[in-house]
Amino acid sequence: MTVYLTQFLVALPAIFFVVDPIGVVPLFLAMTAGDTKEKVRSTALRACLVAGGLMTFFALFGTIIFKVFGVSLGAFRVAGGILLLITALDMLRARPSETRTSPTEEREGAVKEDVAIVPLAIPLLAGPGGIATAMVLVARGNTMTGTLPVLAAIILTFVASYFILRASGLVQRVLRQSGVAIVERVMGLILAAIAVQFMADGAKELLK
């Protein structure tokens, strides 16, 4: 039980911070401007369900993907760590990360009829960094039971993401732009430490 709790306490902040629903709030507000409350709730729900489902899929079948492409866990840990570090550095500078979405994708999303799947679910919520994080965390467990804490962390992250996006207007008013920037920087610092740990673990494995 202690092992599962430890794995969960490592997985939850890693997944929550890389998904970063608070950082998505300003984009969500821009993309759903003028929508009814019912449509905003529906958009948030579908985006979180699709993003959560995608990350769960890669968490469960990541090992098979490693084998198909002949990629070692050590190499993927280093690559995932580098990707997370880039995202973390952008968060520390309180600017949108282009590993998640580009300005062009944001502009296209603002004028689309339905933004729940693209770009909200993919790549804003379930971007390359989130997918890589889920796969690396599950691979560290090495057993099927080791995946349960990671799956629980994914579910909890997207439940929280739904409520944050649903109340996006309130979150924006309470935190304001400066508050969002402060939260982003704190998350970025923790995420940078997790990224360095991923790279260190991967490097050790590659050097064996």
Cis peptide before 103 (omega within 30 of 0): no
Using a pLDDT cut of 90, give the percent of the chain over it: 23
Residue 34 tokens, joined: 């003028």
What range defines the domain where residue 122 resides? 2-207
pLDDT of residue 105: 55
**Mean per-residue pLDDT over the chain, rounded:** 82
**Entry pTM:** 0.78
Q: How many domains does the structure of the chain reveal?
A: 1
> Is a pLDDT exceeding 60 seen at residue 45?
yes
Instruction: Give the three-state DSSP class for 102.
Output: coil
> Is a pLDDT exceeding 70 seen at residue 56?
yes
- Tell me: the pLDDT tens digits for 135-157? 888 877 666 667 899 999 999 99
Cis peptide before 123 (omega within 30 of 0): yes
Distance of CA 84 to the CA centre of its chain: 10
Averaging pLDDT over each range in 56-60, 109-113, 126-130, 145-149, which range is the top one?
56-60
pLDDT of residue 77: 79
> Is a pLDDT exceeding 70 seen at residue 96?
no
pLDDT of residue 100: 54
Instruction: Give the three-state DSSP class for 111.
Output: coil
SS (H, E, C) 135-198: HHHHHHHCCCHHHHHHHHHHHHHHHHHHHHHHCHHHHHHHHHHHHHHHHHHHHHHHHHHHHHHH
Name residues whose C-beta falls within 8 Å of residue 163's C-beta, 6 or more positions apart in sequence: none
Q: What is the mean pLDDT of residues 109-126?
A: 75
- Tell me: the pLDDT tens digits for 180-205? 778 778 878 888 888 888 889 889 88
